[in-house]
Amino acid sequence: MDLKTVIAQQAERYDSFYLYDERCILEHTERLKRGFPQVEFLYSLKCNPDPHVIRSVFAQGFGADAASLGEVLLAEEAGLPKEEIFFSAPGKTPGELRTALSKSNIIADSLGELELLDRLSEELGTVTSVGVRISPSFSFSGGPGLPSKFGIDEDQLYRFLETSPLSHIEIAGIHVHLRSQELRAPALAAYYENMLALAERVRKALGHELEYVDMGSGMGIQFSPKDEPLDMEALGRAAGGQLDSFKEAHPGTRLIIEVGCYAVGKSGVYAAKVLDRKVSRGVTYLILKNTLNGFARPSVAHMVSRFSPEADPAPWEPMFTCRDAFQIQTLKDEPPCEEVTLVGNLCTATDVIAEGLSLPRLDRGDVVVLTNAGAYAAVMTPMQFASQERPAELFLTADGRVLG
């Protein structure tokens, strides 16, 4: 059964819904494993924590990149052991750290957090292995490091290790994340090379081998039709030699890459029914169920397009990627025959997806479908606005079942 048929069937029951296609998830996760046999992958739960989605990704051998204690608990409930859960976020509370110590690999985000973890471990009468998130001396593009709310400046970490011995924690690994949604294989390969050099510097400063090097995320997906998709095979070839050399020199060190959007971003579509149509002073409006409050990012993209004077406004992931990050489709086979403005059913003028869009004629009950809805979609949408009914989240299994 094709996806269009499944959407049409589910539209008989739901006025708005997400549909995540497991076949697409399996295709993308397999592509990652095939391109990087030297690497372990973590799935960033914050991009889509739907229970069926995370269990599907974890079943492919991926661990969890958790950005909150809640995500640590989600990963634990999904069956992952502590060794496969990495908890990295700024501003963790003492209570969160106490709970997470036994459930995850904690990545300290600041010098103050390292000291706090040392005190907590002393209270527990144990020595805890922790990681550190580093703001490195280089930027993603290879220039000097930039100020960041995330991590410990590399030079600050070295000074701290020289002057502030920690008796109840051991630094076991490092984590860096500098960029998302990168489509250039050479840029990612150069970043990995800089990461491996950083790992060598930290290893020497610590005086012992690292248990893991988490190189963060970065791999992007094609949002705009103008984008050239990331060539995973080319990236694997470009980075493979340096990764192999590092693993040969440090066989006990786990090399880790985080992915979110790459694993699941293409797997999702968002479907919304036409609730009404009207013409006002020559403009045809189609009123859809749950747009800004169902899938916010298309409305944000329209807002940026309307108010930015730039032809290609700079992306600010994960809220805004580009003007044409979502393709708008219908279930009809007829060619476009009218120009419409797509709006939602909220009592606010900002609830707009598109203006001057050419579509087949749509009436009450017809369905509009938006692509690229698998990541940073439902989780970033203000579904509580105006106490509207929430869209459903559905999962199409690889064997053709639809789970709610």
pLDDT, tens digit, 9 for 90 and up, residues 187-213: 999 999 999 999 999 999 999 999 999
What pLDDT, on the 0 to 100 scale, is given for residue 104? 98
What pLDDT, on the 0 to 100 scale, is given for residue 309? 85
**What's the predicted TM-score (pTM) here?**
0.96
User: Three-state SS across 53-119?
Assistant: HHHHHHCCCCEEEECCHHHHHHHHHCCCCHHHEEEECCCCCHHHHHHHCCCCEEEECCHHHHHHHHH
With cut-offs at 50, 70 and 90, classify the pLDDT of residue 306: confident
What pLDDT, on the 0 to 100 scale, is given for residue 199? 98
What pLDDT, on the 0 to 100 scale, is given for residue 10? 98
Q: What is the average pLDDT score of the chain?
A: 96
With cut-offs at 50, 70 and 90, classify the pLDDT of residue 124: very high
The verdict on whether omega for the bond into residue 51 sits within 30 degrees of 0, i.e. cis, is no
Asked if 48 and 268 touch (Cβ cutoff 8 Å), the reply is yes
pLDDT (tens digit, 9 = 90+) per residue, 145-170? 999 999 999 999 999 999 887 899 99
The DSSP bridge pattern shows strands 268-280 and 352-359 to be unpaired
Class of domain 266-403 (CATH, top level): mainly beta
Burial of 282 (0-12, 13-18, 19+ CB in 10 A): exposed
pLDDT (tens digit, 9 = 90+) per residue, 42-72? 999 999 999 999 999 999 999 999 999 999 9
What are the residue ranges spanned by the domains of the chain?
Answer: 81-259, 266-403
Considering the segment(s) 81-259 as one domain, its CATH architecture is Alpha-Beta Barrel (3.20)
DSSP conformation class of 176: -
Joined together, the tokens standing for residue 262 give 């790459």
What pLDDT, on the 0 to 100 scale, is given for residue 356? 95
Asked if 134 and 154 touch (Cβ cutoff 8 Å), the reply is yes
For 129, the 3-state DSSP assignment is strand
Burial of 139 (0-12, 13-18, 19+ CB in 10 A): middle
